[in-house]
Structure 1
Amino acid sequence: MRPYERVLKNPSRRLRRGLSAAEARLWFLVPRQQVLGVPFYRQKPLLGYIVDFYAPAAGLVIEVDGAQHLTQSGRIADSRRTSDLERLGLVVIRFDNLQVLNETVAVMEEIYRVVRGRLEEKAGAESKS
């Protein structure tokens, strides 16, 4: 289990009940075990953050960003968040709301591509052990 701040448990539960339209669309497509058999979780606390989607088996975090992420302060916060999560060995991919809503097929293709690559990396590392 990855470390997280326990105070985020209840806020993450509230966020699960109030998904944006883009998050709801993505959740419809990637719920448990629909992407190459890899389970996904939504609004998952990790470190001091609540990530939108998390696939522990692939070491993948998916963020679906709204307009607040386009500001300078939003970009700085996102950069810090990504760096912190990458230090845990996770890969973070980001899509904005409009990409998810208007380019759903391309978003799903990218998710499949990253999940496949991460699974292959893990399998290669295990075979070397």
Structure 2
Amino acid sequence: MTIDNRHSQILGCAKNLRKNMTEQERKLWFTFLKNHPLRFYRQKLVGRYILDFYCHRAKLAIEIDGSQHYEDKQEAYDFERTAYLKRLGILVIRYTNRDVSLHFNEVKIDIDRILQERLGLNPWEMHH
């Protein structure tokens, strides 16, 4: 498979993931990240990886993990992926589906806190 074919295959997969977001991804996107003052992308392609949510300005990736992320094969893949993104200066933060479902306000506060730290902003600057 050529690089161009692989790239278009991954792009197609990202597009499909955008159309078929999980309940928790939809909740985070539509009630928080979509209209966040800092621009976020969903299912963003970086290298050969698709990030659930990505803020380029802060170099922050947000991953929402379902139960499959705790299987050995997936944990190894996630570790390799996180190491690759770290080499690009991208911080990966992870929340479980349960976190988003049961502790949504805490997740939002945590994301804003990390964005503020990464960009050296105070909360007022970020939301105005």
User: With structure 2 as the length reference, what TM-score do the two structures score?
Assistant: 0.85
Secondary structure, aligned partner of 2:120: helix
1:47-100, CA deviations, whole angstroms, 9 ceiling, x for partnerless residues? Answer: 111110000011000000111101112211111110000110011000011111
> What code does the residue aligned with 1:27 have?
W
Partner amino acid, structure 1, of 2:45: P
Which of 13, 31, 42 aligns to 2:15? It is: 13
- Equivalent position amino acid for 1:24 in 2: R
Query: Percent same amino acid among aligned pairs?
Result: 36
After TM superposition, the structure 1 = structure 2 runs for residues 46-125 of structure 1, keeping only pairs within 5 Å, are 46-120=46-120
2:33 corresponds, among 30, 33, 38, to 30
Which has the larger displacement, 4-13 or 18-27? 4-13
Q: Kindly report the root-mean-square deviation, in angstroms, between the aligned alpha carbons of the 2 structures.
A: 1.6
TM-score with structure 1 setting the length: 0.84
CA shift for structure 1 position 8: 1.3
Letter in 1 for 2:118: R
Which structure has more relative contact order (CA 8 Å, sep 6+)? It is 1
Matched position secondary structure for 1:38: coil
Gapped runs of 5+ residues in structure 1? Answer: 122-129
Please give the secondary structure, in 2, of the residue aligned with 1:12: helix
2:8, 2:119 → 1: CA distance?
A: 29
